[in-house]
Structure 1
Amino acid sequence: MIFTFWNSKLDAVRSKNTIHKVTTVHLWRTPNLIVAILAGTLMLAGCQQQSETTESDNDSQISTQIDAENAKPAPLSDSAKARIEQFQPLYVAQMQGLQRRLQAEYEALQAADASDSENALLLDRAYEPVDDTTNTNSPDSTVSATADPITNDADIEATNEVATNDAEVEINTSTEVGERDLEVLKRISLEPRRPEVLTEEQIIERYQQAMQALYEPATTALSAQDTDTLLNIATLVPQLFEHAEIAERVSVKSPALARLIIQHQVWQQIEAQQALDMQQMKLKQQQEFEVLMTKFNDTIKDYDEQIAKYEQTLQEFQ
């Protein structure tokens, strides 16, 4: 019994010492854990700030490099140079033909306007009022001229009042539309403009200048003359821009013009596909027609043979 009592006392003391040690360890570990968490948080924040700073520095370096590249003229490759030289005479011929057509249309419009003005002048002279003095002294004319205004004053006044009211309402309702149309008409000139006729040397010079402008730095805007020349090239010889390098330079210098060229090329492809489809349809119809004609000829041939047999039979009976 004594040993059992002392053993129980010793176990109680040991358990108390163990609880004290565990509590001390936990109390010692908790501040260290908090410090470690704070240190890790600070390290992560520093790394994130450093990464953001690095990314911003990289972005600024990339933008600086892009700006530096855009400020430099683009190199002209040998293949692009050869293609530009190849299409130069074709463009000159097409441009001269376009100028001749525009000049002929302008002269035709000028002649039509001149003939219209002469016809209008003749009509004005034909409808000039002629003084009629034969019936001025007749009593009927005098009575009718003096009686009508007297008897119709009230009606005329009422009619004028109604017309005035209608005109005021119409003016009030269409004032904005009229002003807008007037502003638009002021900007429109119905007279035909004389087309600009360039010599062969001027056409070649503008062509070469426009091609050089494509390879200028991206920050340098195209002039109005270069843009007009490029539009003419895209209209007359769009095959020039099928070269990858030239097409890329057009896209860099003028994205709007590049979209127009792409639309034009797509339309040309659609027209070519439609022409091919029409040819195939015509060929198919021709083949079907030939088959029908063959059948028709065979049928007629059979009919002719039967008619010949009938005629022979008739002759035999006779």
Structure 2
Amino acid sequence: MNSRQPVSMLPISMLIVASFLGTLSLTGCQPTAKPADDDQVSSQSEADSKPGVQSDSAAARIEEFEPLYVKEMQELQQRLQAEYEALQAADAPDSSSILPNSVSKPTPNDTDKNTDTDSTTTAATSENTASNADTSAVSTDKAGAEINTSTEVGERDLEVLKLIRIGPRKPSLLTENQLIERYQQAMQALYEPASIPLSAQDIDTLLNIMTLLPELFEHAEIAERVSIKSPALARLITQHQVWQQIEVQQALDMEQMKINQQQEFEALMKKFNDTIESYDEQIAKYEQTLEEFQ
């Protein structure tokens, strides 16, 4: 039995080695995913480095909205300037209420009375000071920590308040040529490569367009360029358009509600008039019956 045992074990070891080599060969034949990812990244970078091509319809729409934007911006600047001047006038001190001659001079009798009153007040103040000294000395230890904490909080609040501008800010007024230049520059920036970020001035101009003339971005190509250049700005434009639709729907709902209320009121008035007429007919019949009995 011992002489047959090695012969039976030999094929099993060969099978194990063969399966191991087969597994290695299959693993080596499997393709890796990194080259595909690298291709996607390279293709995306190439797409981001290419400028957008402006179609004729988009160019015509941009040119159509240019004078409308200039007109709306000029009206907005006039309103902002009027509001600024009104706030400046409201915040200005009233000089007529503070007059140096408005203080009356005391008479001699008033001077004597004031002297007596001042002496009495001084004596009472000294007594109050002496009585409050002991109380303040007792509470000093307890309030020490609170004073330190409140002082630190107060200093932080003061630093924050320094950053806040309470007074009205003077609006920047742009000329017609400046408005046209910024409008054209913002539209050109939309078609620049996606790798080039929008400047702060272009974002400000696009926000003004979104607020005053959101219909410009209803063009599919222009909306796509905004989404490519600034997804956050595209979401903001979408939210603004949704709110406009909600406002329009609310206005329609209010108008329909008024119509329904008017119809209900007219129906109630008709029913009331019909009831009054029936009462009048009954009263006339009663009066006729009374006349017949008489």
**TM class, shorter-chain normalised?**
0.7 to 0.9
| Partner Cα distance (1:200, 1:142) in 2 | 70
Match of 2:274 in 1: 298
How far has the Cα of 1:125 moved from its partner?
3.5
Per-residue CA deviation, residues 63-89 of structure 1 (Å, 9 max, x unaligned), is 111111101111112232222223223
Match of 2:206 in 1: 230
**Corresponding residue to 2:239 among 243, 259, 263:** 263
| Partner Cα distance (1:256, 1:247) in 2 | 12
**Corresponding residue to 2:64 among 83, 86, 101:** 86
Q: Which amino acid aligns with 1:63?
A: V
**Corresponding residue to 1:39 among 2, 10, 21:** 21
Question: Where in structure 2 are the equivalents of 1:3-82 lying within 5 Å?
Answer: 24=7, 26-48=8-30, 51-52=31-32, 55-82=33-60
Residue 189 of structure 2 corresponds to residue 196 of structure 1: no
Computing the radius of gyration from Cα coordinates, the structure with the larger value is 1
| Partner Cα distance (1:127, 1:162) in 2 | 42
Aligned residues: 290
Bigger mean CA offset, 29-38 vs 201-210: 29-38
| Partner Cα distance (1:253, 1:161) in 2 | 71
Question: Where in structure 2 are the equivalents of 1:60-209 lying within 5 Å?
Answer: 60-114=38-92, 117-119=93-95, 122-123=97-98, 125=100, 128=103, 130-136=105-111, 138=112, 145-146=118-119, 149-150=122-123, 153-159=126-132, 171-209=147-185
Note the aligned Cα RMSD (angstroms): 3.0
State the TM-score, normalizing by the size of structure 2.
0.85
What residue ranges of structure 1 are gaps of 5+ in the alignment? 1-15
Bigger mean CA offset, 85-94 vs 140-149: 140-149
Q: Which amino acid aligns with 1:59?
A: D
Q: Which amino acid aligns with 1:265?
A: Q
| Partner Cα distance (1:65, 1:145) in 2 | 90
3-state SS of the aligned residue for 2:166? coil
Distance 1:208 1:146, change over 3 A: closer
What residue ranges of structure 2 are gaps of 5+ in the alignment? none
3-state SS of the aligned residue for 1:174? helix
Match of 1:280 in 2: 256
3-state SS of the aligned residue for 1:73? coil
* Identical-residue share of aligned pairs (%): 59
